[in-house]
Structure 1
Amino acid sequence: MSAIHSTAVIDPKAELDSSVEVGPYTIIGPHVRIAAGTKVGPHVVIDGHTTIGTDNQLFQFSSIGAQPQDKKWAGEATRLEIGDRNTIREFCTFNTGTVQGGGVTRLGHDNWISAYVHLAHDCQVGSHTIFSNNAQLAGHVEIGDWVIMSGFANVHQFCKIGAHAFVGMSTSLTQDVPPFVLLNGNPAAAHGVNIEGLKRRGFTREQINGIRTAYKLIYRSGLTLDEAKAALFEEEQGSSPDVAEHIRAMREFLGVASRGIVR
């Protein structure tokens, strides 16, 4: 346990792998579990029923696993689950879930979380995301894999953002965002497909063109959402499997969007 600074306060009931590093003046509560290779910086507070996976790095002054900011919370043993290889920068606040929201807040793997990011109760964040400084999520928000949240972007409770979407700086979101869409503004407006992001992730020209066609059916054709879903199904049936899976993702998202989509 030599990697734990002498000034850190760690409850005897906490479960830390022997390889975990803990910096000065950090406080870790009794229901915390931290897996191998994770580094916790100085002045971090980790509390609640919180599980942290392998090879994460938590920088100074973050509050991880505190009780949810929800008046309905009545002391239940709700959870925060953090996956592997995440970078969590300074002054982040991640809260545990609520019974009403499923009981758990989750952050997946390989995420880059910049300073002052807030993940409220019951948020579900996928993997390979990037959150720039001051990106804020209200409760029950769902974020797909590879989403990029620019600085000062904020998301209303219960919103969903599909995989590979790009949310521009200072964007205010009150509706759902389909996969692959690039949007910006307050109120938010869609501005096309996140083409540059898709290229960086190895999407082929054929796949990107198929996604652009699907985007046009949703946003540029004048169709209602029900009509757009039918048109997307037809487009999906006539596409190669590599393209069809992405059109299907956009079509299926329209079926689960609960707050209407940004259009």
Structure 2
Amino acid sequence: MIHPTAIISPQAALARDVSVGPYAIIEAGVEIGEGTSIGPHAVIEGRTRIGRNNRIFQFAAIGGPPQDKKYRGEPTEVEIGDGNTIREYVTINRGTTQDAGVTRIGNDNWIMAYVHFAHDCQIGNHTIFANACQLAGHVHVDDWAILGATTLVHQFVHIGAHSFTGMGTYLPQDLPPYVTAAGNTARPYGINSEGLKRREFSTQAISGLKRAYRTLYRSGLGMEDALRELQAQSRDCPEVRTILDFISRSSRGILR
């Protein structure tokens, strides 16, 4: 299961059935769970904990120091859950003491080639990142979000659950749950209806979210008036409450 050319530190902890390809490097402090495979030439370093049944492909670089001039070698971390696919040339940097101190990836995420997660990013579950998505530091991505190829995300941006971006999108502000965005700079283009259907949201819920979208983006209402209207709509559509909660926590302001 371990290729003879792989270099693995005696201070790394690998489950018995972990497989490691040719010329991979696994440094001290790394922990890797059952059923995970590490591809050729992959480099995993630092205080990095990887869960079960992940597939990490060739040339991935995980756990490297953050690209942050303030970093002084503090013992920060990367945490990766279970069942993730991490393709070629993905780079995942560890956290900083200015934030959570950990870059965290949940479960069952699909991360395509050349994706970059900078320091302190927090990635949920069941997300998809198409080729060459680039996330700056401190970005949060909630469950089931899908980012199209070459999506660029500004630092501290929050991307809501079930949202979707088109290819070549630049996101400088928070993207609310369920909303589709595209363009450079990003503009909203409706609710992610197709994704919600695939995840078996009810027709009533999708209709309620479409109504909420029109209120927020097409009614001409100012933000305060739009939020009051969404508050009323949330009584009939609980999913609208998710949008309201997201907006209330936004630090950069939402895409609008």
Interval of TM-score (by shorter of Structure 1 and Structure 2): over 0.9
TM-score, normalized by length of structure 2? Answer: 0.99
Q: Which amino acid aligns with 2:108?
A: D
In structure 2, what is the Cα distance between the partners aligned to 1:112 and 1:226? 37
1:230 aligns to 2:223 (yes or no): no
1:67 aligns to 2:60 (yes or no): no
In structure 2, what is the Cα distance between the partners aligned to 1:189 and 1:81? 32
Deviation (angstroms), 1:224: 2.0
Structure 1 partner of 2:79: 81
SS in 2 for 1:99: coil
Structure 1 partner of 2:129: 131
For 1:249, which of 212, 217, 242 is the aligned residue? Answer: 242
Deviation (angstroms), 1:227: 2.0
In structure 1, what is the Cα distance between the partners aligned to 2:225 and 2:105? 35
SS in 1 for 2:234: helix
* Higher mean C-alpha displacement, 223-232 vs 135-144: 223-232
Deviation (angstroms), 1:226: 2.2
Structure 2 partner of 1:164: 162
Structure 2 partner of 1:259: 252
1:219 aligns to 2:217 (yes or no): yes
CA-atom RMSD in angstroms: 0.7
The answer to whether the Cα contact below 8 Å between 1:229 and 1:254 also exists between their aligned partners in 2 is no
Unaligned runs of 5+ residues in structure 1 are none
Structure 2 partner of 1:122: 120
Structure 1 residue runs of 4+, over 3 Å off?
none
Deviation (angstroms), 1:220: 1.2
Corresponding residue pairs, total: 256
In structure 2, what is the Cα distance between the partners aligned to 1:19 and 1:138? 34
Q: Which amino acid aligns with 1:190?
A: P
In structure 2, what is the Cα distance between the partners aligned to 1:225 and 1:32? 47
Q: Deviations over 1:205-247 (max 9, x none)?
A: 001001111111111122222222221111112x1xxx31x11
Structure 2 partner of 1:207: 205
In structure 1, what is the Cα distance between the partners aligned to 2:39 and 2:185? 37
Deviation (angstroms), 1:152: 0.6
Q: Deviations over 1:54-80 (max 9, x none)?
A: 000000001000000001111000010
Q: Deviations over 1:85-142 (max 9, x none)?
A: 0000000000000000110101110000000000000000111011000001000000
In structure 1, what is the Cα distance between the partners aligned to 2:225 and 2:66? 40
Deviation (angstroms), 1:174: 0.4
The answer to whether the Cα contact below 8 Å between 1:176 and 1:260 also exists between their aligned partners in 2 is yes
In structure 2, what is the Cα distance between the partners aligned to 1:140 and 1:226? 27
In structure 2, what is the Cα distance between the partners aligned to 1:183 and 1:132? 15
SS in 2 for 1:51: strand
For 1:184, which of 168, 182, 185 is the aligned residue? Answer: 182
Structure 2 partner of 1:151: 149
TM-score, normalized by length of structure 1? Answer: 0.96
Q: Which amino acid aligns with 1:60?
A: Q
Q: Which amino acid aligns with 1:248?
A: R
The answer to whether the Cα contact below 8 Å between 1:225 and 1:254 also exists between their aligned partners in 2 is no
In structure 2, what is the Cα distance between the partners aligned to 1:32 and 1:111? 20
Q: Identity over the aligned pairs, expressed in percent?
A: 54
In structure 2, what is the Cα distance between the partners aligned to 1:107 and 1:144? 10
Structure 2 partner of 1:35: 33
Structure 2 partner of 1:14: 12
Unaligned runs of 5+ residues in structure 2 are none
SS in 2 for 1:210: helix
